[in-house]
Amino acid sequence: MLVVMKHNASEEDISGVVGTIKEMGYDARPIPGGPRTAVGLVGNDGRADAGRLQGLSGVLEVIPVTQAYKQVSREWREEDTLVTLPNGTVIGGRDLVMMAGPCAVEGERQIIEVAHVVREMGATILRGGAFKPRTSPYSFQGLGLDGLRFLARAREESGMVVVTEALDPDGVDLVAEYADIIQIGARNMQNYPLLRRAGRSGKPVLLKRGMAATIEEWLLAAEYLLAEGNHDVILCERGVRSFAKHTRNLLDLAAIPVVRSLSHLPIIVDPSHGTGLRSKVIPMGRAAVAAGADGLMIEVHLDPPHAMSDGAQSLYPEQFGELMDQIRVIAKAIGRDVTAPLEAVSPV
């Protein structure tokens, strides 16, 4: 932490800052410069509170230097984290993983059919919401427990593993019973009781980036999971808020190489929510792979015009197939591959 003093800060001001830093339990190192002095706070363990220094007399600004996150950082762990799932899919390795399925589980038959379709095209992880966070209280809120049961059934029939969202701490336990990956949605990225419970769930967690979250805040949210002992965390970029409204969100693909350099956690991209427009999902899915994503999460619906939510951003199955074909070529350009398709599950 660096405390930058005002041009006209007095010796007394500087002593005040040095004294406060010592009182906080750290070392202070004044750095006299040309036009102004700065005081370094040395030995910061990530808990030093800038607030105690910001308001002091003569202080211009306090600049954080040490990152507040620890276990998620590449400095803590150099090698990439690999998340291995029950059906053998590995997230974060050389091969890209594909998660696909409808926005919401709408019925048993619907989810089983779509599972078969996307599995054949190369997806190994089935997505589908049972609990839907909706902006309006009057919108369809998901099938709840029934949705979870249908997902479990689709897994059994297709051999895919399942990712689905939990909305509150008790929901985490429920989702953990039925699913293979617990999703934390963008709106809940800083819902700390939810993160804590997911951190103790024993299941991998997919953590979506919040709509206005910086990379540091996102990594700190992941830190909540690791701090509870859960190291199987997958980050998911899904677009951020912006002044521009030509897409539903502004997909921040540069987050991929940035996260890669700061953290060992795998990162995937959701171009469906990232654009909100079916016709933009394929180009942005390709772009995400080219930028180095470890996988994609894609909304696919057998009949998008009749989807109960997010129909406008759901791909038709043949579009999903087209995307798969294209990313297989693109992955090669950077020495990667797409996970091999699962074999069909033989009926017992």
Q: Are 146 and 120 in contact (CB under 8 A)?
A: no
Smallest gap from residue 141 Cβ to a second copy (A): 8
Smallest gap from residue 347 Cβ to a second copy (A): 35
Smallest gap from residue 77 Cβ to a second copy (A): 12
Q: Output the CA–CA distances (angstroms, integers) from residue 267 to 8, 101, 112, 147, in the order listed.
A: 47, 19, 27, 26
**By C-beta, is 126 or 288 nearer to a second copy?**
288
Token pair of 225 as six digits = 């999971």
Smallest gap from residue 112 Cβ to a second copy (A): 23
**By C-beta, is 129 or 159 nearer to a second copy?**
129
Smallest gap from residue 323 Cβ to a second copy (A): 10
**By C-beta, is 245 or 346 nearer to a second copy?**
245
**By C-beta, is 33 or 347 nearer to a second copy?**
33
Closest C-alpha among 1, 120, 118, 130 to residue 59: 1
**By C-beta, is 49 or 146 nearer to a second copy?**
49
SS3 120: helix
Smallest gap from residue 204 Cβ to a second copy (A): 19
Q: Are 185 and 133 in contact (CB under 8 A)?
A: yes
Q: DSSP letter at 342?
A: P
Token pair of 219 as six digits = 């990594």
Closest C-alpha among 280, 288, 209, 293 to residue 248: 280
Q: For residue 282, which amino acid is it?
A: I
**By C-beta, is 61 or 177 nearer to a second copy?**
61
Q: Are 45 and 69 in contact (CB under 8 A)?
A: no
SS3 226: helix
Smallest gap from residue 68 Cβ to a second copy (A): 5
- The residues that bridge with 164 in the sheet, in sequence order, are 182
Q: Count the residues in the chain.
A: 348
Beta carbons within 8 Å of 155's beta carbon, 6+ residues apart: 115, 126, 161, 162, 180
In 24-128, alpha helices (H): 51-54, 108-121
Q: Output the CA–CA distances (angstroms, integers) from residue 297 to 74, 118, 266, in the order listed.
A: 24, 12, 13
**By C-beta, is 153 or 196 nearer to a second copy?**
196
Smallest gap from residue 184 Cβ to a second copy (A): 12
Backbone phi, psi, residue 323, to 5° = -60, -45
SS3 88: coil
Q: Are 52 and 226 in contact (CB under 8 A)?
A: no
**By C-beta, is 155 or 197 nearer to a second copy?**
197
**By C-beta, is 235 or 342 nearer to a second copy?**
235
Smallest gap from residue 159 Cβ to a second copy (A): 28
